[in-house]
Structure 1
Amino acid sequence: MQDGIYRVLFLSRRNSARSVMAEAILNKIGKGRFKAFSAAVDPAPVIEPTVLQLLRNEDYPIEDIKPRHFRDFADAGATDLDFVFTLSDTAAGEALPEWPGLPITGHWRCPDPILVEDEAWQRKQAFMQVLTGLERRLNIFINLPFASLDRMSLQHHIRDIGDAEKA
């Protein structure tokens, strides 16, 4: 933690939906205690328009959100990270670098709503389900008693938050 702010990176395959949602959610509900970023294994050229509209509708911050590669957060001089969460199996399966700050890591698998090829209302529903699932997880996360947990206990809680969504 630097300056009393936890820095959190969310990783997905394209950084065009799930990780962008997580970044926007945490930057809003974290109320200055958290600074979220997002990146991809293979960045998309643009953010999924459905995601931008959904985030706007829910009043989440979307300024400066753009697809980025995870190497931007691993290069020399990159900001130290406190937490790194993979949201896709693709990102979790990558040989990821040693992150600056040696963050606590976790895999919070989320289904990819971009892969839903049904009717428009079903696609929107898939995006909303991912958004509400991330909101639940992140609300639990920001309310952990960080000051009273050692690294191992915190890692255990992070894993439990990811596992709870699967149940």
Structure 2
Amino acid sequence: MSERTYNAFFLCTGNSARSQMAEALITALSKGRIRGYSAGSHPSPAVQPLAAELVASLGINPSSLRTKSWDEFAAPNAPVMDFIITVCDDAAGEVCPVWPGHPAMAHWGVPDPALTPDDRQAFKDVWLVLRRRIELLCALRLDRLDHLAREQQLRLIANER
């Protein structure tokens, strides 16, 4: 039996680092089972170079990265999301658009490495936390969990470092 593909949406204010890294990580680590998307409430002009460098380590062409507004994903023809995960405290506190399909939601707050754009270790630390959480999400048997159980699991994963 083949499992369906799920859509995971990572939100941040600027969409320049954390959410970009999470989008790439989940798409790569899930091996096609979960498609990653990301956007910001107030997108930055460009993706942070150190975030793009880490994404490139997954074999993803960094020139394909771009910051996006979450309004793009609230449009009528946008993909329906199964999971909405905020990765910054600011975005978690904002009033979000209404997402169709009643996705499971959680907050996976991590520090913003873009505040210190030349600090390679800050980017790597965030990358490793996101990777660990995404590995745990990818290990779940999503087809055996109802909506409430999926949301509960997402929230439990938020405590993983």
TM beyond 0.5: yes
Structure-2 separation of matches of 1:133 and 1:60: 20
Contact 1:24 1:60 survives alignment (8 Å) = no
Aligned partners of 1:105, 1:161: CA distance in 2, in Å? 12
Gaps of 5+ in 1: none
Aligned runs of 1:98-137 on 2, under 5 Å?
98-116=98-116, 120=118, 123-137=119-133
C-alpha deviation, 1:100, in angstroms: 2.1
Aligned pair 1:158/2:154, yes or no? yes
CA RMSD of aligned residues (A): 1.5
Q: Which amino acid aligns with 1:89?
A: D
**2: CA distance, partners of 1:67 / 1:74:** 15
Q: Residue 21 of structure 2 contacts residue 54 of structure 2 at CA under 8 Å; is this kept in 1?
A: no
Number of matched pairs? 158
Identity %: 35
| Contact kept? 1:16, 1:47, Cα under 8 Å | yes
Deviation at 1:60, TM superposition (A): 4.0
Segments of structure 2 that go 5 or more residues without pairing to the other structure are none
* Alpha-carbon distance in 1 for matches of 2:13, 2:108: 13
TM-score, with structure 2 as normaliser:
0.92
Asked whether the 8 Å contact 1:6–1:34 carries over to 2, the reply is: yes
Partner of 1:40: 40
Look up the SS of the partner of 2:64 in the other structure.
Answer: coil
Q: Which shows bigger deviation, 144-153 or 129-138?
A: 144-153
